[in-house]
Protein backbone atom coordinates (compact mmCIF):
# COMPACT_ATOMS: atom_id res chain seq x y z
CA UNK A 1 0.00 0.00 0.00
CA UNK A 2 1.72 3.16 -1.19
CA UNK A 3 1.48 6.56 0.53
CA UNK A 4 -0.24 8.00 -2.56
CA UNK A 5 -2.99 5.36 -2.46
CA UNK A 6 -3.47 5.89 1.28
CA UNK A 7 -3.64 9.66 0.91
CA UNK A 8 -6.15 9.35 -1.94
CA UNK A 9 -8.23 7.27 0.48
CA UNK A 10 -7.99 10.08 3.04
CA UNK A 11 -9.28 12.58 0.46
CA UNK A 12 -12.12 10.19 -0.40
CA UNK A 13 -13.20 9.51 3.20
CA UNK A 14 -12.89 13.18 4.15
CA UNK A 15 -15.15 14.33 1.33
CA UNK A 16 -17.61 11.44 1.73
CA UNK A 17 -18.44 12.54 5.27
CA UNK A 18 -18.99 16.13 4.20
CA UNK A 19 -21.19 14.92 1.35
CA UNK A 20 -23.29 12.87 3.78
CA UNK A 21 -23.83 16.00 5.84
CA UNK A 22 -24.73 18.10 2.78
CA UNK A 23 -27.34 15.58 1.65
CA UNK A 24 -28.79 15.23 5.14
CA UNK A 25 -29.20 18.97 5.80
CA UNK A 26 -32.99 19.04 5.24
CA UNK A 27 -33.46 16.11 7.63
CA UNK A 28 -31.15 17.71 10.20
CA UNK A 29 -33.08 20.98 9.98
CA UNK A 30 -36.34 19.15 10.73
CA UNK A 31 -34.67 17.04 13.41
CA UNK A 32 -33.29 20.07 15.27
CA UNK A 33 -35.84 22.74 14.39
CA UNK A 34 -33.22 24.92 12.71
CA UNK A 35 -34.62 27.48 10.26
CA UNK A 36 -33.02 28.95 7.13
CA UNK A 37 -31.50 31.96 8.89
CA UNK A 38 -30.14 29.70 11.63
CA UNK A 39 -28.55 27.44 9.03
CA UNK A 40 -26.83 30.44 7.49
CA UNK A 41 -25.41 31.46 10.87
CA UNK A 42 -24.32 27.90 11.69
CA UNK A 43 -22.52 27.50 8.35
CA UNK A 44 -20.85 30.90 8.81
CA UNK A 45 -19.47 29.84 12.19
CA UNK A 46 -18.43 26.53 10.62
CA UNK A 47 -16.53 28.42 7.92
CA UNK A 48 -14.83 30.66 10.49
CA UNK A 49 -13.68 27.62 12.46
CA UNK A 50 -12.47 25.99 9.22
CA UNK A 51 -10.35 28.98 8.19
CA UNK A 52 -9.04 29.41 11.73
CA UNK A 53 -8.03 25.75 11.94
CA UNK A 54 -6.12 25.97 8.67
CA UNK A 55 -4.28 29.04 9.97
CA UNK A 56 -3.33 27.47 13.30
CA UNK A 57 -2.65 24.11 11.63
CA UNK A 58 0.32 25.56 9.78
CA UNK A 59 2.05 26.22 13.10
CA UNK A 60 0.96 22.86 14.45
CA UNK A 61 2.61 21.07 11.54
CA UNK A 62 5.95 22.51 12.61
CA UNK A 63 5.71 20.44 15.79
CA UNK A 64 3.68 17.37 14.79
CA UNK A 65 4.49 15.02 11.90
CA UNK A 66 1.87 15.46 9.19
CA UNK A 67 0.63 11.85 8.98
CA UNK A 68 0.46 11.55 12.74
CA UNK A 69 -1.60 14.74 12.84
CA UNK A 70 -3.91 13.36 10.15
CA UNK A 71 -4.51 10.16 12.12
CA UNK A 72 -5.40 11.97 15.32
CA UNK A 73 -7.60 14.57 13.70
CA UNK A 74 -9.46 11.98 11.61
CA UNK A 75 -10.42 10.13 14.82
CA UNK A 76 -11.80 13.39 16.24
CA UNK A 77 -13.43 14.09 12.89
CA UNK A 78 -15.37 10.81 13.06
CA UNK A 79 -16.53 11.54 16.63
CA UNK A 80 -17.73 15.00 15.58
CA UNK A 81 -19.80 13.44 12.80
CA UNK A 82 -21.55 11.28 15.40
CA UNK A 83 -22.40 14.36 17.48
CA UNK A 84 -23.53 16.22 14.35
CA UNK A 85 -25.94 13.58 13.07
CA UNK A 86 -27.54 12.90 16.47
CA UNK A 87 -27.97 16.61 17.35
CA UNK A 88 -31.42 17.30 18.75
CA UNK A 89 -31.49 21.10 19.00
CA UNK A 90 -30.35 24.12 16.94
CA UNK A 91 -27.61 24.92 19.42
CA UNK A 92 -26.31 21.33 19.42
CA UNK A 93 -26.22 21.33 15.61
CA UNK A 94 -24.45 24.71 15.51
CA UNK A 95 -21.86 23.62 18.09
CA UNK A 96 -21.23 20.41 16.16
CA UNK A 97 -20.74 22.37 12.94
CA UNK A 98 -18.16 24.59 14.66
CA UNK A 99 -16.32 21.48 15.90
CA UNK A 100 -16.56 20.00 12.40
CA UNK A 101 -14.96 23.16 11.00
CA UNK A 102 -12.02 22.76 13.40
CA UNK A 103 -11.36 19.12 12.56
CA UNK A 104 -12.07 19.47 8.83
CA UNK A 105 -9.84 22.52 8.44
CA UNK A 106 -6.92 20.77 10.14
CA UNK A 107 -7.35 17.57 8.12
CA UNK A 108 -7.71 19.59 4.92
CA UNK A 109 -4.44 21.41 5.53
CA UNK A 110 -2.57 18.22 6.56
CA UNK A 111 -3.69 16.11 3.60
CA UNK A 112 -2.95 18.85 1.08
CA UNK A 113 0.47 19.44 2.65
CA UNK A 114 1.29 15.74 2.34
CA UNK A 115 -0.21 15.62 -1.16
CA UNK A 116 1.90 18.56 -2.32
CA UNK A 117 5.02 16.83 -1.01
CA UNK A 118 4.09 13.58 -2.79
CA UNK A 119 3.54 15.50 -6.03
CA UNK A 120 6.97 17.10 -5.69
CA UNK A 121 8.56 13.69 -5.10
CA UNK A 122 6.74 12.16 -8.07
CA UNK A 123 7.80 14.98 -10.39
CA UNK A 124 4.36 15.06 -12.07
CA UNK A 125 0.85 16.24 -11.21
CA UNK A 126 -0.94 13.90 -8.79
CA UNK A 127 -2.72 16.25 -6.39
CA UNK A 128 -5.52 17.19 -8.78
CA UNK A 129 -6.43 13.51 -9.09
CA UNK A 130 -6.76 13.29 -5.34
CA UNK A 131 -9.11 16.28 -5.47
CA UNK A 132 -11.04 14.51 -8.22
CA UNK A 133 -11.44 11.51 -5.89
CA UNK A 134 -12.71 13.88 -3.21
CA UNK A 135 -15.26 15.41 -5.60
CA UNK A 136 -16.51 11.96 -6.58
CA UNK A 137 -16.79 10.95 -2.91
CA UNK A 138 -18.74 14.11 -2.13
CA UNK A 139 -21.16 13.26 -4.93
CA UNK A 140 -21.76 9.75 -3.56
CA UNK A 141 -22.06 11.12 -0.05
CA UNK A 142 -24.55 13.83 -0.98
CA UNK A 143 -27.03 11.53 -2.69
CA UNK A 144 -26.41 8.79 -0.12
CA UNK A 145 -26.91 11.16 2.79
CA UNK A 146 -30.15 12.42 1.30
CA UNK A 147 -31.56 8.89 0.80
CA UNK A 148 -30.30 7.39 4.06
CA UNK A 149 -31.32 10.35 6.25
CA UNK A 150 -34.81 10.56 4.76
CA UNK A 151 -35.41 6.80 4.97
CA UNK A 152 -33.60 5.77 8.17
CA UNK A 153 -32.88 9.03 9.99
CA UNK A 154 -29.79 11.23 10.23
CA UNK A 155 -28.04 9.06 12.89
CA UNK A 156 -27.62 6.34 10.25
CA UNK A 157 -25.33 8.71 8.33
CA UNK A 158 -23.04 8.86 11.37
CA UNK A 159 -22.37 5.14 11.00
CA UNK A 160 -21.47 5.56 7.33
CA UNK A 161 -19.09 8.42 8.12
CA UNK A 162 -17.31 6.42 10.82
CA UNK A 163 -17.08 3.33 8.60
CA UNK A 164 -15.45 5.38 5.83
CA UNK A 165 -12.91 7.06 8.12
CA UNK A 166 -11.83 4.03 10.16
CA UNK A 167 -10.03 2.17 7.32
CA UNK A 168 -7.94 5.18 6.29
CA UNK A 169 -6.92 5.82 9.90
CA UNK A 170 -5.66 2.22 10.02
CA UNK A 171 -3.97 2.61 6.61
CA UNK A 172 -2.11 5.70 7.82
CA UNK A 173 -0.49 3.54 10.50
CA UNK A 174 0.87 1.22 7.79
CA UNK A 175 2.93 3.84 5.95
CA UNK A 176 6.10 5.47 7.32
CA UNK A 177 6.00 8.97 8.76
CA UNK A 178 7.11 11.80 6.54
CA UNK A 179 10.55 13.07 7.33
CA UNK A 180 10.49 16.75 8.36
CA UNK A 181 12.08 19.15 5.92
CA UNK A 182 14.94 21.28 7.01
CA UNK A 183 14.64 24.92 7.83
CA UNK A 184 14.65 27.53 5.15
CA UNK A 185 18.11 28.60 4.09
CA UNK A 186 19.29 32.06 4.92
CA UNK A 187 19.10 34.60 2.15
CA UNK A 188 22.08 36.76 1.32
CA UNK A 189 23.72 38.39 -1.68
CA UNK A 190 21.91 37.66 -4.95
CA UNK A 191 19.28 35.67 -3.06
CA UNK A 192 18.37 38.76 -1.07
CA UNK A 193 17.96 40.73 -4.30
CA UNK A 194 15.70 38.02 -5.73
CA UNK A 195 13.59 37.93 -2.57
CA UNK A 196 13.30 41.70 -2.60
CA UNK A 197 12.17 41.60 -6.23
CA UNK A 198 9.66 38.87 -5.42
CA UNK A 199 8.27 40.86 -2.51
CA UNK A 200 7.35 43.63 -4.90
CA UNK A 201 4.95 41.28 -6.66
CA UNK A 202 2.80 40.62 -3.57
CA UNK A 203 0.49 43.39 -4.69
CA UNK A 204 -2.65 43.97 -6.72
CA UNK A 205 -2.61 40.74 -8.81
CA UNK A 206 -2.39 38.58 -5.68
CA UNK A 207 -5.21 40.52 -4.02
CA UNK A 208 -7.44 40.27 -7.10
CA UNK A 209 -6.77 36.55 -7.44
CA UNK A 210 -7.71 36.24 -3.77
CA UNK A 211 -11.03 37.90 -4.59
CA UNK A 212 -11.62 35.44 -7.44
CA UNK A 213 -10.74 32.56 -5.11
CA UNK A 214 -13.14 33.85 -2.46
CA UNK A 215 -16.01 34.23 -4.92
CA UNK A 216 -15.41 30.74 -6.31
CA UNK A 217 -15.22 29.07 -2.90
CA UNK A 218 -18.36 30.93 -1.84
CA UNK A 219 -20.11 29.52 -4.93
CA UNK A 220 -18.88 26.01 -4.11
CA UNK A 221 -20.12 26.27 -0.51
CA UNK A 222 -23.49 27.47 -1.78
CA UNK A 223 -23.88 24.51 -4.15
CA UNK A 224 -22.64 22.01 -1.56
CA UNK A 225 -24.50 23.18 1.53
CA UNK A 226 -27.50 25.14 0.24
CA UNK A 227 -28.75 23.07 -2.65
CA UNK A 228 -30.29 20.25 -0.58
CA UNK A 229 -32.69 22.39 1.43
CA UNK A 230 -33.64 24.29 -1.76
CA UNK A 231 -34.31 21.13 -3.77
CA UNK A 232 -36.18 19.54 -0.86
CA UNK A 233 -38.92 22.09 -1.48
CA UNK A 234 -39.11 21.14 -5.18
CA UNK A 235 -38.73 17.37 -4.73
CA UNK A 236 -41.81 16.91 -2.54
CA UNK A 237 -43.15 14.38 -1.83
CA UNK A 238 -39.80 12.60 -2.42
CA UNK A 239 -37.25 14.28 -0.13
CA UNK A 240 -34.71 11.55 -0.85
CA UNK A 241 -33.87 13.42 -4.08
CA UNK A 242 -32.82 16.57 -2.20
CA UNK A 243 -29.15 15.64 -2.42
CA UNK A 244 -29.21 15.33 -6.21
CA UNK A 245 -28.01 18.91 -6.72
CA UNK A 246 -24.92 18.55 -4.54
CA UNK A 247 -24.27 15.08 -6.01
CA UNK A 248 -24.36 16.26 -9.62
CA UNK A 249 -22.36 19.36 -8.71
CA UNK A 250 -19.56 17.24 -7.21
CA UNK A 251 -19.81 14.58 -9.93
CA UNK A 252 -19.38 17.09 -12.75
CA UNK A 253 -16.60 18.75 -10.80
CA UNK A 254 -14.79 15.40 -10.51
CA UNK A 255 -15.11 14.72 -14.26
CA UNK A 256 -13.77 18.13 -15.27
CA UNK A 257 -10.97 17.95 -12.69
CA UNK A 258 -9.83 14.66 -14.20
CA UNK A 259 -9.27 16.62 -17.44
CA UNK A 260 -7.92 19.74 -15.74
CA UNK A 261 -4.24 19.19 -16.47
CA UNK A 262 -4.95 18.77 -20.20
CA UNK A 263 -6.99 21.97 -20.28
CA UNK A 264 -4.23 23.91 -18.53
CA UNK A 265 -1.63 22.63 -20.98
CA UNK A 266 -3.72 23.69 -23.98
CA UNK A 267 -5.02 27.06 -22.72
CA UNK A 268 -3.55 29.66 -20.38
CA UNK A 269 -4.80 29.82 -16.80
CA UNK A 270 -6.56 33.17 -17.22
CA UNK A 271 -8.64 31.83 -20.10
CA UNK A 272 -9.53 28.62 -18.26
CA UNK A 273 -10.64 30.62 -15.21
CA UNK A 274 -12.71 33.10 -17.23
CA UNK A 275 -14.59 30.44 -19.20
CA UNK A 276 -15.10 28.40 -16.04
CA UNK A 277 -16.57 31.34 -14.14
CA UNK A 278 -18.93 32.09 -17.04
CA UNK A 279 -20.22 28.50 -16.89
CA UNK A 280 -20.64 28.67 -13.12
CA UNK A 281 -22.51 32.00 -13.35
CA UNK A 282 -24.84 30.56 -16.01
CA UNK A 283 -25.43 27.56 -13.74
CA UNK A 284 -26.55 29.71 -10.81
CA UNK A 285 -28.64 31.87 -13.13
CA UNK A 286 -30.36 28.70 -14.36
CA UNK A 287 -31.07 27.66 -10.75
CA UNK A 288 -32.45 31.09 -9.93
CA UNK A 289 -34.75 31.10 -12.96
CA UNK A 290 -35.75 27.42 -12.92
CA UNK A 291 -39.35 26.65 -12.04
CA UNK A 292 -38.86 22.93 -11.49
CA UNK A 293 -36.64 20.27 -9.94
CA UNK A 294 -34.93 19.15 -13.16
CA UNK A 295 -33.85 22.62 -14.23
CA UNK A 296 -32.41 23.35 -10.79
CA UNK A 297 -30.44 20.09 -10.67
CA UNK A 298 -28.97 20.71 -14.14
CA UNK A 299 -28.03 24.22 -13.04
CA UNK A 300 -26.08 22.86 -10.06
CA UNK A 301 -24.34 20.38 -12.39
CA UNK A 302 -23.22 23.30 -14.58
CA UNK A 303 -21.91 25.07 -11.48
CA UNK A 304 -19.80 22.01 -10.67
CA UNK A 305 -18.33 21.90 -14.15
CA UNK A 306 -17.61 25.64 -14.01
CA UNK A 307 -15.90 25.77 -10.62
CA UNK A 308 -13.77 22.62 -11.09
CA UNK A 309 -10.54 24.20 -12.36
CA UNK A 310 -10.75 27.71 -10.93
CA UNK A 311 -9.10 27.11 -7.55
CA UNK A 312 -6.06 25.17 -8.84
CA UNK A 313 -5.54 27.66 -11.67
CA UNK A 314 -5.75 30.59 -9.23
CA UNK A 315 -3.20 28.96 -6.95
CA UNK A 316 -0.84 28.46 -9.90
CA UNK A 317 -1.17 32.12 -10.94
CA UNK A 318 -0.66 33.34 -7.38
CA UNK A 319 2.49 31.26 -6.99
CA UNK A 320 3.88 32.67 -10.26
CA UNK A 321 3.57 36.22 -8.96
CA UNK A 322 6.41 35.56 -6.50
CA UNK A 323 8.24 32.27 -7.12
CA UNK A 324 10.70 32.96 -4.30
CA UNK A 325 7.89 33.65 -1.83
CA UNK A 326 5.03 31.56 -3.18
CA UNK A 327 3.93 30.47 0.30
CA UNK A 328 3.54 34.11 1.38
CA UNK A 329 1.65 34.96 -1.81
CA UNK A 330 -0.70 31.99 -1.35
CA UNK A 331 -1.22 33.00 2.27
CA UNK A 332 -2.24 36.54 1.27
CA UNK A 333 -4.62 35.27 -1.41
CA UNK A 334 -6.14 32.69 0.97
CA UNK A 335 -6.69 35.37 3.59
CA UNK A 336 -8.56 37.56 1.11
CA UNK A 337 -10.57 34.53 -0.03
CA UNK A 338 -11.42 33.67 3.58
CA UNK A 339 -12.73 37.16 4.27
CA UNK A 340 -15.11 36.80 1.31
CA UNK A 341 -16.25 33.22 1.92
CA UNK A 342 -17.01 33.56 5.64
CA UNK A 343 -20.12 35.80 5.45
CA UNK A 344 -21.55 33.95 2.44
CA UNK A 345 -23.79 31.46 4.33
CA UNK A 346 -25.05 34.18 6.67
CA UNK A 347 -25.86 36.50 3.75
CA UNK A 348 -27.54 33.65 1.86
CA UNK A 349 -29.67 32.81 4.87
CA UNK A 350 -30.70 36.44 5.30
CA UNK A 351 -31.55 36.97 1.63
CA UNK A 352 -33.40 33.65 1.36
CA UNK A 353 -35.42 34.34 4.53
CA UNK A 354 -36.17 37.95 3.57
CA UNK A 355 -36.85 37.49 -0.16
CA UNK A 356 -36.31 34.05 -1.73
CA UNK A 357 -33.75 31.36 -2.50
CA UNK A 358 -33.87 32.35 -6.17
CA UNK A 359 -32.70 35.88 -5.41
CA UNK A 360 -29.90 34.48 -3.24
CA UNK A 361 -28.70 32.24 -6.08
CA UNK A 362 -28.98 35.13 -8.51
CA UNK A 363 -26.69 37.14 -6.24
CA UNK A 364 -24.05 34.39 -6.41
CA UNK A 365 -24.32 34.47 -10.22
CA UNK A 366 -23.67 38.23 -10.08
CA UNK A 367 -20.57 37.75 -7.92
CA UNK A 368 -19.21 35.20 -10.38
CA UNK A 369 -19.80 37.68 -13.21
CA UNK A 370 -17.68 40.20 -11.30
CA UNK A 371 -14.98 37.51 -11.10
CA UNK A 372 -15.08 37.15 -14.89
CA UNK A 373 -14.51 40.89 -15.29
CA UNK A 374 -11.56 40.81 -12.86
CA UNK A 375 -9.92 37.88 -14.65
CA UNK A 376 -10.44 39.49 -18.06
CA UNK A 377 -8.81 42.68 -16.80
CA UNK A 378 -5.87 40.74 -15.32
CA UNK A 379 -5.35 38.90 -18.61
CA UNK A 380 -5.48 42.21 -20.54
CA UNK A 381 -2.98 43.68 -18.08
CA UNK A 382 -0.68 40.68 -18.44
CA UNK A 383 -0.66 40.92 -22.25
CA UNK A 384 -0.30 44.73 -22.47
CA UNK A 385 2.11 45.46 -19.64
CA UNK A 386 5.74 44.32 -19.88
CA UNK A 387 5.67 43.83 -16.13
CA UNK A 388 2.46 41.88 -16.46
CA UNK A 389 3.97 39.57 -19.10
CA UNK A 390 6.74 38.75 -16.67
CA UNK A 391 5.34 39.23 -13.20
CA UNK A 392 8.18 37.31 -11.58
CA UNK A 393 11.94 37.75 -11.79
CA UNK A 394 13.66 35.27 -14.12
CA UNK A 395 15.30 32.28 -12.47
CA UNK A 396 18.98 32.88 -11.70
CA UNK A 397 21.54 31.20 -13.90
CA UNK A 398 24.79 29.72 -12.68
CA UNK A 399 27.75 31.89 -13.73
CA UNK A 400 29.25 28.96 -15.61
CA UNK A 401 26.11 28.68 -17.69
CA UNK A 402 26.21 32.33 -18.85
CA UNK A 403 27.91 32.58 -22.29
CA UNK A 404 30.16 35.48 -23.16
CA UNK A 405 28.96 38.21 -25.52
CA UNK A 406 30.82 36.86 -28.55
CA UNK A 407 29.33 33.41 -28.10
CA UNK A 408 25.88 34.94 -27.72
CA UNK A 409 26.23 36.91 -30.96
CA UNK A 410 27.44 33.79 -32.79
CA UNK A 411 24.53 31.77 -31.49
CA UNK A 412 22.02 34.44 -32.57
CA UNK A 413 23.62 34.62 -36.03
CA UNK A 414 23.44 30.85 -36.36
CA UNK A 415 19.72 30.91 -35.56
For the chain, 415 residues long, the average pLDDT of each consecutive 10-residue run is 93 95 92 89 89 79 88 97 96 96 90 80 76 89 91 95 97 86 40 43 81 94 83 68 82 89 82 96 95 90 94 78 64 80 86 90 96 94 64 42 43 44
> Which residues fall within 8 angstroms of residue 291, CB to CB, at 6 or more apart?
none
Q: Where do the domains of the chain lie?
A: 1-177, 201-391
- What class has domain 201-391? mainly alpha
1-177 and 201-391 have identical folds: yes
Q: Which CATH architecture has domain 1-177?
A: Up-down Bundle (1.20)
Alpha carbon 324 to chain centroid, angstroms: 24
Q: Taking each helix axis as running N to C, give the angle between helix 3-32 and helix 127-152, from 0 to 180 degrees, rounded to the nearest 10.
A: 30
Distances (CA, A) of 411 to 396, 398, 401, 403: 21, 19, 14, 10
CB-CB contact of 203 with 328 (8 Å): no
pLDDT at 239: 63
SS3 sequence, the chain? CCHHHHHHHHHHHHHHHHHHHHHHHHHHHHHHCCCHHHHHHHHHHHHHHHHHHHHHHHHHCCCCCHHHHHHHHHHHHHHHHHHHHCCCCHHHHHHHHHHHHHHHHHHHHHHHHHHHHHHHHHCCCCHHHHHHHHHHHHHHHHHHHHHHHHHHCCHHHHHHHHHHHHHHHHHHCCCCCCCCCCCCCCCCCHHHHHHHHHHCCCCHHHHHHHHHHHHHHHHHHHHHHCHHHHHHHHCCCCHHHHHHHHHHHHHHHHHHHHCHHHHHHHCCHHHHHHHHHHHHHHHHHHHHHCCCHHHHHHHHHHHHHHHCCHHHHHHHHHHHHCHHHHHHHHHHHHHHHHHHHCCHHHHHHHHHHHCCHHHHHHHHHHHHHHHHHHHHHHHHHHHHCHHHHCCCCCCCCCHHHCCCHHHHHHHHHHC
Alpha carbon 44 to chain centroid, angstroms: 16
pLDDT at 99: 97
pLDDT at 125: 65
Distances (CA, A) of 38 to 43, 149, 345, 346, 378: 9, 20, 10, 8, 38
Distance CA 32, CA 34 (A): 5
pLDDT at 328: 62
CB-CB contact of 9 with 132 (8 Å): no
pLDDT at 40: 85
Amino acid sequence: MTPRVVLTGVFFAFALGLGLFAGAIPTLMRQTGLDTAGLGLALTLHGAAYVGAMTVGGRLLRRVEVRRLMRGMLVLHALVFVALFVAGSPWALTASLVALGLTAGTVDLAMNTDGTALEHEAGRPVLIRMHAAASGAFAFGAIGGSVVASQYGAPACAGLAVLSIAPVVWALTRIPPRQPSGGAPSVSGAGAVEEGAARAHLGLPVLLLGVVLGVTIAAEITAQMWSAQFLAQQAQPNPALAGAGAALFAGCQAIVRSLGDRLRRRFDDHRVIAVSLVLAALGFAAVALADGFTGSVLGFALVGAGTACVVPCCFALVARQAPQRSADALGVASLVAGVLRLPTPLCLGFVAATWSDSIAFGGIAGLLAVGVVLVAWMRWRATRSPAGRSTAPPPPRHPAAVPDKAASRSARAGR
